[in-house]
Amino acid sequence: MLLVVGTHNKGKIQEIRQVLGKEAEIKSVSEFSNEEPIEDGNSLKENALIKARHAYYASHLPSFADDSGLFVQALNGAPGIHSSRYAKTDEERIARLLKELGNEPNKDRTAYFGCCIAYYDGKNEFTVEGRCYGTIITQKKGHSGFGYDPVFVPNGFDSTFAELGEEEKNKISHRALALELFKKELLKRNLFANQ
């Protein structure tokens, strides 16, 4: 099965290929359009659907997209759906997050990464969501992954996503959980057979 993923993010595409690569050939929407859709939804679900529909209309092939965010308890859920727009670069995003959280020992640093995946093929449309709960630490650790990975320690682990490495992270991450649910939904709806 050929699926178009509505992202230009190479790290994200690599993660998706590691999980779905056996079942489907994954192409980036970049191969069809360099245009970025306007993500003006009020939730991960709304933004994922905007990107999936954009990828479909650019490629006319079955498409999916995810929208992910980091939701921090002490910041009332921020940065949330604005996680990728919190600052210009990963370094600046992490710096802003740590500055806003501060170093107060009693501050609630619990957080979760949420990932909603939306599918659209012109007829069928559905969404699934995965979450990974953990804690934001006070300084960066590790060098793999991207985004907020160096400051997020998932529950049950002593290492950040950036220290765990891709293989381990891809077993427990919000995107890995959502991709597994996505794969099951495609099978349940017989969409793998529809091409």
What local confidence, expressed as pLDDT, does residue 79 receive? 97
Residues 6+ apart with CB under 8 A from 40: 50
Cβ–Cβ under 8 Å, residues 119 and 62: yes
Q: Across all residues in the chain, what is the average pLDDT?
A: 91
pLDDT tier at 23 (50, 70, 90 boundaries)? Answer: confident
Q: CA–CA separation, 137 vs 32, rounded Å?
A: 39
Q: CA–CA separation, 63 vs 57, rounded Å?
A: 9
pLDDT tier at 10 (50, 70, 90 boundaries)? Answer: confident
Residue recorded with tokens 């498409």: 63
Which of 161, 163, 114, 168 lies closest to 142 in space, CA to CA? 163
> Which member of 66, 67, 121, 149 is catalytic?
67
**Both tokens assigned to 3:** 């699926």
42 exposure class (CB count in 10 Å sphere: 0-12, 13-18, 19+): exposed
Torsion of Cα atoms, 4 then 9 then 14 then 18, to 10°: -60
What local confidence, expressed as pLDDT, does residue 1 receive? 84
Q: What is the pLDDT of residues 97-154, one digit of tens each?
A: 999 999 776 789 999 999 999 999 999 999 999 999 999 999 999 988 788 999 999 9
Strands (E) across 20-160 are located at: 25-28, 63-72, 79-80, 110-120, 125-136, 152-154
**Both tokens assigned to 133:** 């709960």
Q: CA–CA separation, 24 vs 22, rounded Å?
A: 6
What local confidence, expressed as pLDDT, does residue 134 receive? 97
What domains, with CATH codes, occur in the chain? 2-194 (3.90.950.10)
The question of whether 158 is a catalytic residue gets the answer no
